Amino acid sequence: MEINNQQIMRKLVFIFVMLCMFSCGDYIDKPKNLIEPDAMAEILADLTITDQAVVIYQNRNLEAGTRFVLKNHNVKSEDFINSFQYYVIKDKMKDIAEDAQKIVLKKDPKAEKYVQDKLKNAGSTPVLDK
C-alpha cells in the first residue's frame, strides 16, 4: 500500500510541476504578420482622422474610410485586428495610442486646441486602454 501512495504522490507532483511550467506562457501568440508599434500608431492616427471626417460629413461611410486607411498602409484587416488584440493583451496599446495622438497633433495642429478644450472640460486625458 505504501508504494501505491508514493506513486500517486509522484504523479501529482509531476502534474503540478507541468501545470506551473505551462501556466507561465503567454495568453496570446505573437501574430505572424504583426504590425510594428510605430506603424500601428500611424494607422490609428489615420483612423482617428477618418473617423472625425465621418462625423463632419455624416453621409459618408466609416467602413469605407477604414478600408481606405488600411489599404494605404498595405495592411490586411485581419492583420490589423490580430495586432490590435496582441498589443491590448500585452498592455502596449496605451503607448501606441499616445504615439498616435502625437501623430494626429502633428498632422492637424488645430486638433491640439480641441484636445486642450476637452481636457479643461473633462479634467483628464481619455486614453485608449484595455
CB atoms within 10 A of CB 92: 13
Q: How far apart are CA 17 and CA 13, in angstroms?
A: 6
Residue 64 has pLDDT above 50, yes or no: yes
Residue 3 has pLDDT above 70, yes or no: no
pLDDT digits (tens, 9 = 90+) for 22-50: 555 556 778 899 999 999 999 999 988 88
Reading the block at residue 87, the C-alpha cell is 498589443
pLDDT digits (tens, 9 = 90+) for 74-115: 999 999 999 998 998 888 899 999 999 889 888 887 777 776
